């Protein structure tokens, strides 16, 4: 889910990368272009393993690698020919508590909100309108990565926002693709997304919607600059979502 706490004039070119970790966590990197008249925050609800605490999500600073997704895309020069193989499937109380920790992560101030009730511990400027989460009951047990963004007059691409979190389901990679851009939840939304996955078992994704990279990231990325998010020797996969789709998150099942 990509939730903005105030109206945005433009959002596009969203790129999301996900990879499972051997310790049961998931790495996630997220970037997009946006335009906004006021400072605001982007909130990414995450299916973190419960019970969740404030330290359970680890932010990763990728300011030094702004071309993370530009380089990632070099691994997909042309669509490969169709294949019949496929083993992955995509589907689509605190009021008196201390303020949540704010971390500087590259160009962003970032916080992890472990539960919906902990939003009362976050600066009011960076919360969604009261009652929003009542319209999204599926997220009542989620945690939330919050990134504070500066206003800009023209569409600006941000460097990747990245973190790792203990995932609830070890067989699923999670992509936050639900939209809230105007304070309301709509049944459908316009997508301009490129999703990238790196399953570690070299399985093949659903060929209808995912493409396999032409080689390993060692050949098209500065792997050391990803700070452990991308493995050098495992193929990546890509799915593009352009146009109107059901307004929901995307799950990719990973089979051993």
231-246: pLDDT as tens digits: 999 999 999 988 888 8
Measured CA distances, 39 to 42, 108, 150, 159 (Å): 10, 12, 5, 17
Give pLDDT, residue 87. Answer: 46
In this prediction the pTM is 0.85
Which residues, 6+ apart, have CB-to-CB distance to 68 below 8 Å? Answer: 17, 29, 31, 62, 159, 160, 221, 225, 226
Give pLDDT, residue 224. Answer: 97
SS3 state of residue 138: helix
Most confident of 95-99, 132-136, 144-148: 144-148
Share of the chain above pLDDT 90, in %: 38
Q: Could you tell me the residue range of the domain that residue 92 belongs to?
A: 2-253
Give pLDDT, residue 1. Answer: 52
β-partners of residue 210 are none
The predicted model gives 28-53 an average pLDDT of 89
Which residues, 6+ apart, have CB-to-CB distance to 137 below 8 Å? Answer: none
Residue 93 has pLDDT above 80, yes or no: no
The domain tally of the chain equals 1
Q: Decide: residue 135, CB within 10 A, 0-12 exposed, 13-18 middle, 19+ buried.
A: exposed
β-partners of residue 41 are 148
Share of the chain above pLDDT 70, in %: 84
The predicted model gives 216-237 an average pLDDT of 96
Residue 68 has pLDDT above 50, yes or no: yes
Residue 24 has pLDDT above 60, yes or no: yes
* Strand 188-197 with 237-246, pairing: antiparallel
Give pLDDT, residue 84. Answer: 46
Assigned token pair, 102 = 């704010």
The predicted model gives 18-23 an average pLDDT of 91
The predicted model gives 87-115 an average pLDDT of 70
Q: Decide: residue 129, CB within 10 A, 0-12 exposed, 13-18 middle, 19+ buried.
A: exposed
CATH at 189? 2.60.250
Give pLDDT, residue 174. Answer: 93
DSSP-derived secondary structure letter, 224: G
């Amino acid at each position: 889910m990509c939730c903005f706490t105030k109206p945005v004039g433009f959002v596009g070119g969203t790129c999301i990368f996900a990879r499972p970790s051997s310790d049961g966590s998931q790495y996630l990197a997220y970037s997009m272009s946006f335009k906004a008249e006021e400072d605001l925050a982007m909130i990414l609800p995450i299916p973190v393993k419960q019970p969740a605490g404030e330290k359970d999500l680890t932010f990763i600073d990728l300011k030094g690698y702004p071309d993370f997704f530009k380089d990632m895309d070099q691994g997909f020069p042309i669509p490969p020919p169709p294949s019949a193989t496929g083993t992955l499937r995509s589907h689509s109380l605190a009021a008196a508590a201390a303020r949540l920790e704010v971390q500087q992560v590259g160009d962003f101030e970032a916080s992890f909100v472990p539960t919906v009730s902990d939003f009362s511990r976050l600066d009011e400027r960076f919360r969604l309108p009261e009652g929003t989460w009542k319209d999204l009951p599926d997220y009542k047990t989620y945690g939330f990565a919050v990134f504070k963004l500066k206003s800009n007059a023209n569409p600006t691409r941000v460097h990747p926002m990245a973190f790792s979190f203990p995932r609830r389901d070890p067989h699923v990679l999670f992509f936050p693709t639900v939209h809230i851009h105007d304070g309301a939840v709509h049944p459908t939304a316009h997508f301009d997304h490129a999703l990238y996955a790196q399953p570690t078992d070299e399985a093949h994704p659903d060929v209808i919607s995912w493409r396999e990279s032409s080689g390993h990231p060692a050949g098209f990325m500065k792997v050391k600059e990803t700070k452990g998010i991308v493995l050098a020797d495992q193929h990546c996969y890509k799915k593009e979502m352009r146009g109107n789709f059901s307004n929901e998150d995307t799950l990719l099942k990973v089979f051993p």
